[in-house]
Amino acid sequence: MELRKMLKVVIRLPGGKATGKNNIVQAIINTCREESILGATVTRCLFGYGEKEYKPRALLQLKDLPVIVEIVDEPLAIRQVLPEIKRLVQDNGLITVEEVYAI
């Protein structure tokens, strides 16, 4: 079994900005598909805090719940797509990149 070094990009977005009129999440996923990124997962969060606190009662307003997008691929592929992701997100969220290992 050989471990492959990969990069994981995690994008945290406020719900309203992530899926509103200019759907950032869909644009990120489309970019990943166009660039043949190995995988991307979108998760809508139930609650948490950052600039704003999100509580379980917010379930009544699903569009306002935070969104997390995770992208995993080889370092070269991630480095190529990262500038476009940053352009799409701008100052609307937080982007982190970490080294991970996959089997």
pTM: 0.84
Residue 15 sits at φ, ψ, to 5 deg, of -55, -50
Residue ranges covered by each domain of the chain: 4-102
Contacts 24+ apart (CB under 8 A), 95-98: 95/9, 95/10, 95/11, 96/9, 96/10, 96/12, 97/7, 97/8, 97/9, 97/10, 98/7, 98/8, 98/10
Between CA 6 and CA 18 the distance in angstroms is 26
Q: What is the pLDDT of residues 26-72, one digit of tens each?
A: 999 999 999 999 999 999 877 666 666 666 554 556 667 789 999 99
CATH number of 4-102, picked from 3.30.70.120, 3.40.50.2300, 3.90.1150.10, 2.30.30.100: 3.30.70.120
Q: What is the mean pLDDT of residues 9-25?
A: 80
Between CA 16 and CA 64 the distance in angstroms is 5
With a cut of 60, say whether residue 78 has pLDDT above it: yes
Q: In terms of Cα–Cα distance, which of 9, 24, 1, 26 is closest to 74?
A: 9
